[in-house]
Amino acid sequence: MMARIKTFQRQQNIYTRANPNRYAYVPLEWDIEERLIRGFVRNIIDGNIVESLYSWHKISSEDINNLKNSDKEISKNAFENIVTTLKKSIGWDRLSKIFPDKESCKMARSVGTNLTRLKRKKIDALIRHSEALTEIQVRLYLPEIIEPHYE
């Protein structure tokens, strides 16, 4: 039931074109991977990213137009160009050096919501995992609140 409510709230409150607010959505069950950046590009395709973010991340209007092109090869190339541009914009190479290891991520993602006491190792894993996810999502969706702008 909680998962359904969360999904409904996310769809209604975050990814609607009528919503003027912007969010950096960070569920702890997500993996820390390039998929987060690819999700941002899919949100561009779906019309869920405001145009001001294109210029912030220095995504060319040509790539945006090509992304929505009916020619699959042109669209695919634009998609990959935008992924590369976003990685540079958010400082992906720098960030990836501080990402927690796979074991720590797995531990963090396995923590339940049953309100039991956690061991220090799990707490540390949750902190590292949530910190990395938050940094990526904020840099993608709300970059103006973090200075300086990384090139």
pLDDT, residue 115, reads 77
The answer to whether residue 54 sits within a structural domain is yes
Confidence (pTM):
0.77
The answer to whether residue 9 sits within a structural domain is no
The answer to whether residue 55 sits within a structural domain is yes
Integer Cα distance of 141 and 138 in angstroms: 5
The residue range of the domain holding 122 is 24-145
Contacts of 109-112 with C-beta under 8 Å, sequence gap 24+, read 109/28, 109/29, 109/31, 111/28
| 83-87, 93-97, 98-102, 144-148, range with greatest mean pLDDT | 83-87
Contacts of 78-82 with C-beta under 8 Å, sequence gap 24+, read 79/38, 79/41, 82/41, 82/44
The answer to whether residue 2 sits within a structural domain is no
The answer to whether residue 66 sits within a structural domain is yes
47-60: average pLDDT: 88
Instruction: Tell me how many domains the chain contains.
Output: 1
The answer to whether residue 6 sits within a structural domain is no
The answer to whether residue 98 sits within a structural domain is yes
